[in-house]
Copies of this chain bind each other. A is one copy, B any other.
Amino acid sequence: MRFFSDNAAPVCPQVLQALVDGNMLDTAYDGDRWSKQLDGRFSDLFETEVRALWVPSGTAANALALAALCPPHGGILCHRDAHIQNDECGAPEFYTHGAKLMLVEGEGAKLTPATLNAALGAIRTDVHQVQPHAISITNATEYGLVYTPEQVAAIGDLAKARKLGLHMDGARFANAVAHLGCTPADVTWRAGVDALSFGFVKNGGMSAEALIFFDTRLADATLYRRKRAGLLLSKGRYLAAQLLAMLEDDLWLDNARAANGGARMLADAAGERLVHAVEANEVFLRVTPEEAAGLRALGFDFYDWGPAEARLVISWDQDAEAIRPLAEAIGTL
């Protein structure tokens, strides 16, 4: 019974079916009829003109977005616990050609105007220090918290005032939107976001993520960067088809709601043990090593998060029946 990662979940049937359906014979790379629909379909979803590129990983989406927003000699403000800082083996540095991640504080891996201003205030504005060019936030955060449209907009205002680009790492964007109940537009471009890494793989996809540019001028150079990085797959239509299948009938939102619902069940069972509010599909639990071992002895698989915490991640395919045993086990700790 796996709760260690939503990357461990299988691909959802509609996505697999899209790959099998029909004979996906077409032009190579991204000239095919599936890839060509992406700009339009995502523009509809976001109620504005966007440019949408498939890429095979979230790390690739993040790194390409940051390279579009920050020159090699610039800096990117992000939370000290951000995925781009801790879990991408320096991909931002590779794609930006050596820009510096500037680490910012904040509860639950959330940035605020206050913590951003504190960080910005400590940077000298001379040629000897790297100057900031962009901010990157994660929604939902690495601890499963969700920025509201208002919170994003406050950061977006600060970014605009400081002439900084704003990137959102949306590896679990679907879970954030499912939690908020807002439109995807409200929590992105309407709040000042320039580029979004829109995650689909954790949410039921196989190998396709979407990189969305709200500042559409950033897209053209990124097409070259994507190719140059070996990320322009020769049968890209199989990636485009995955994204289209996820958009169809709001499958992406349904899957996210399911995962969030499972997390809610665990959160209710966990009560005071919760380290963070549970707003998406991750649950951080205070447990002793003995308690963690006890849960594992019952067959539950999850990661420790430091010495006295456990991280439980719920996937799109885990329904109430799959969650209940763990909820009960937590309840009886």
| Residue numbers in B under 8 Å from A90 (CB-CB) | 72-73, 75, 98-100, 130, 228
CB-CB nearest 10 A-B residue pairs: A60-B230, A7-B28, A93-B98, A59-B230, A7-B234, A89-B227, A73-B224, A97-B97, A89-B228, A87-B128
| Interchain nearest-CB distance for A57 vs B (Å) | 5
Interface residues on A, range: 35 or more
| Residue numbers in B under 8 Å from A61 (CB-CB) | 230
Contact A127 B26 (CB under 8 A): no
A91 to B100, CA, bound (A): 10
Contact A239 B207 (CB under 8 A): yes
| Residue numbers in B under 8 Å from A7 (CB-CB) | 28-29, 234-235
A252 to B227, CA, bound (A): 26
**Contact among B71, B93, B131, B233 with A207 in the assembled complex (CB-CB below 8 Å):** B233
A120 to B198, CA, bound (A): 33
A232 to B59, CA, bound (A): 9
| Residue numbers in B under 8 Å from A223 (CB-CB) | 127
| Residue numbers in B under 8 Å from A129 (CB-CB) | 86-87, 89
Q: Give the contacts of A21-36 with B (CB-CB under 8 A).
A: 23-29
Find the residue from A75, A94, A129, A229 having the highest chain B CB count within 10 A: A229
Chain B CB within 8 A of A246 CB: no
| Residue numbers in B under 8 Å from A231 (CB-CB) | 56-57, 60, 230-231
Chain B CB within 8 A of A324 CB: no
Q: Assembly of this chain: how many copies? A: 4
Nearest B residue (CB) for A61? B230
Contact A230 B229 (CB under 8 A): yes
Chain B CB within 8 A of A187 CB: no
**Contact among B5, B20, B127, B239 with A89 in the assembled complex (CB-CB below 8 Å):** B127
**Contact among B10, B23, B71, B100 with A23 in the assembled complex (CB-CB below 8 Å):** B10
B-contact 0/1 string along A87-109, CB 8 Å cutoff: 11111011111111100000000
Contact B8 A26 (CB under 8 A): yes
Contact A59 B227 (CB under 8 A): yes
* Chain A interface, >50% SS class: loop
Contact B8 A238 (CB under 8 A): no
Could you show 14 A-B contacts with beta carbons less than 8 Å apart?
A7-B29, A10-B24, A11-B24, A16-B19, A57-B231, A61-B230, A71-B221, A72-B72, A73-B225, A89-B228, A90-B98, A91-B230, A201-B234, A230-B231
| Interchain nearest-CB distance for A134 vs B (Å) | 14
| Residue numbers in B under 8 Å from A56 (CB-CB) | 56, 207, 230-231, 233
Contact A88 B234 (CB under 8 A): no
| Interchain nearest-CB distance for A25 vs B (Å) | 5
Contact B98 A73 (CB under 8 A): no
| Residue numbers in B under 8 Å from A97 (CB-CB) | 72, 94, 97-98
Chain B CB within 8 A of A9 CB: yes
Chain B CB within 8 A of A190 CB: no
**Contact among B25, B29, B64 with A10 in the assembled complex (CB-CB below 8 Å):** B25
B-contact 0/1 string along A101-145, CB 8 Å cutoff: 100000000000000000000000001111100000000000000
